[in-house]
Amino acid sequence: MRKIIQFSFFCMTLALSMKASAQLPGPKLPKVLAFANFTYASPSNSDFKNISNNGVGFEAGAGIGMGKTLIIASLGQISYNIPNTFIATSTTGIAFTSSSSHLKVTPLKVGIRRYLIGGLFLNGNLGVAMQKYDNSTVTGSTFLYEGGAGWKIGFLELGAAYTGFNLAGTSQPVTANALLLKAGLAIKL
CA distance 151 to 31: 17
Q: In this predicted structure, what is the pLDDT of residue 83?
A: 80
- Asked if the structure places residue 145 within a domain, the reply is yes
CA distance 155 to 185: 5
| 51 CB-near residues (< 8 Å, 6+ apart) | 43, 80, 82, 86, 92, 94, 103, 167, 174, 176
User: How many residues are present in the chain?
Assistant: 189
CA-based max dimension of the chain = 102
Q: In this predicted structure, what is the pLDDT of residue 129?
A: 97
- Asked if the structure places residue 3 within a domain, the reply is no
CATH number at residue 121: 2.40.160.20
* Residue 172 structural domain: 31-188
CA distance 181 to 141: 23
Query: Cα–Cα–Cα angle for 13, 19, 24, nearest 5°?
Result: 125
The number of folded domains in the chain is: 1
Predicted model pTM: 0.78
The closest of 50, 21, 55, 72 to 134, measured between CA atoms, is: 55
Q: In this predicted structure, what is the pLDDT of residue 98?
A: 45
Q: In this predicted structure, what is the pLDDT of residue 46?
A: 86
- Asked if the structure places residue 8 within a domain, the reply is no
Q: In this predicted structure, what is the pLDDT of residue 144?
A: 97
| Residue 127 and residue 108 in contact, taking contact as beta carbons nearer than 8 Å | yes
Q: In this predicted structure, what is the pLDDT of residue 84?
A: 63
- Asked if the structure places residue 171 within a domain, the reply is yes
Q: In this predicted structure, what is the pLDDT of residue 173?
A: 82
Q: In this predicted structure, what is the pLDDT of residue 135?
A: 76
If DSSP codes are grouped into helix, strand and coil, which group holds residue 156? strand
Blockwise average pLDDT, block size 10, the chain, 189 residues: 59 52 61 96 90 94 94 97 63 52 94 95 97 84 97 96 90 90 95
- Asked if the structure places residue 95 within a domain, the reply is yes
Beta strands in 67-174 (DSSP E): 69-82, 101-115, 120-133, 139-153, 156-166
